[in-house]
Amino acid sequence: MEFAGVLRDWRTRRRVSQLELALRAGTTQRHVSFLERGRSAPGRAMVVRLAESLEIPLRDRNALLLSAGYAPAYPQTALNEPELAPIVGALERVMAAHMPYPAVVIDRRSELVAANDAFFGLMAGADPQLLEPPVNVARLVLHPRGLARRIVNLDEWAWHVIDNLGRRAQRESDDELQALVEELEGLIPERPRSPGPNHLGFSVPLRLRSDLGELRLLTTLTHFATAVDVTVAELKMEAFLPADEPTAAALNELARR
């Protein structure tokens, strides 16, 4: 697709008017209008400013630059390259420090990049096929042969996971991620009509059966907010935290074992 159409699609997806985009990017509504109709050709700096103003992911910013006839501006470095060794090392240290609580690093489509021992302990009993690379963590968690069989509040908690993935798929215009969302929707019970009674007032805990009793876990997501490399920008660390003291004690016991 040519630049005009790509820009218009992103602006529409973000629900931003031409005037608002112009103000964000430091230009005029007339210029944005001309760009979207193909009547003006953007400079490279303007393409970058428009992409930043629309909060377009780095991977798609490169595509926008290409559609305008410019070379990509953001590198995409493999995780095993020496340049990313400090990033990989930092993630490994954070996950190690998070023990005995589970933590996992995933990419933009929820595929496993790294995990600590507590995370693999949490997945004990999952079908070995689901643990064969490439491992999709969302599928591993919500599949009936994965963690789902042990999730007490599956019908409620799973939809929070799926809705989050669905919003990202739409926000990033990612067809493969949308296909994963549709696959996961077919694996779980129907959406509950009303919120369950298990909220903590600010979050829905993951309630998980274990041989030490029920675990109640909260999840957090961390990412590199100022990344300028496509690979790094798409990494996310998901950490599982105990929602109560019995869960904290149980996780410590599981780690000791």
Each of the 257 residues of the chain gets a pLDDT tens digit; together they read 799 999 999 999 999 999 999 999 999 999 999 999 999 999 999 999 999 999 999 999 999 999 999 999 999 999 999 999 999 999 999 999 999 999 999 999 999 999 999 999 999 899 999 999 999 999 999 999 999 999 999 988 999 899 999 999 988 889 999 999 999 999 988 887 665 555 554 568 899 999 899 999 999 989 888 899 999 999 999 999 999 999 999 999 988 87
* CATH number of the domain encompassing residue 47: 1.10.260.40
pLDDT value for 214: 95
Residue 77 lies in a domain: no
| CA-based nearest residue to 22, from 39, 9, 7, 44 | 7
182 belongs to a structural domain: yes
Q: Is residue 74, in this structure, part of any structural domain at all?
A: no
Helix/strand/coil for 192: coil
pLDDT of residue 16: 96
At which of 67, 93, 111 does a domain end? 67
Say yes or no: 94 and 197 in one domain. yes
Are residues 215 and 244 located together in one domain of the fold? yes
Residue 129 lies in a domain: yes
Q: How many CB atoms lie within 10 A of CB 5?
A: 12
Residues 23 and 124 in one domain: no
Residue recorded with tokens 């290409």: 66
Residue for token pair 């992911």 = 57
Q: What is the pLDDT of residue 173?
A: 84
* CATH number for 107: 3.30.450.180
Q: Which domain holds residue 229?
A: 82-256
> Is the domain of 12 the same as that of 37?
yes
Q: Which candidate, 71, 97, 58, places its Cα nearest to that of 235?
A: 58
> What integer pLDDT is reported at residue 225 of this predicted model?
82
Q: Is residue 240 helix, strand or coil?
A: strand
Domain count along the chain:
2
Integer CA distances (angstroms), 149 to 10, 114, 243, in order = 39, 23, 20
63 and 101 belong to one structural domain: no
pLDDT for the residue numbered 201: 46
In a domain, 76, yes or no: no
C-alpha to C-alpha distances, 28 to 18, 34, 46, 248, nearest whole angstrom: 9, 10, 12, 55
Is 44 domain-assigned?
yes
Task: Clarify whether residues 91 and 201 are in a common domain.
Answer: yes
**Pair (121, 9) in one structural domain:** no
Q: Is 75 domain-assigned?
A: no
Of 44, 67, 90, which residue constitutes the final position of a domain? 67
User: Does 196 lie in the same domain as 142?
Assistant: yes
218 and 96, same domain (yes or no): yes
Tell me, what's the pLDDT at 199? Answer: 52
Query: What's the pLDDT at 194?
Result: 62
Closest CA to 182 of 152, 123, 139, 127: 139
Q: Please give the Cα distance from 4 to 25 (Å, whole number).
A: 16
**Last residue in a domain, options 35, 67, 99:** 67
Please tell me the predicted confidence (pLDDT) of residue 123. Answer: 92
171 and 112 in a common domain:
yes
Find the angle CA(220)-CA(203)-CA(240) to the nearest 5 degrees: 30
Query: Is there a single domain that holds both residue 159 and residue 55?
Result: no
Question: Residue 218 and residue 162: Cα distance in Å, rounded?
Answer: 16
Model pLDDT, residue 43? 96
Asked if residue 103 belongs to a domain, the reply is yes
Domain identity same for 175 and 239: yes
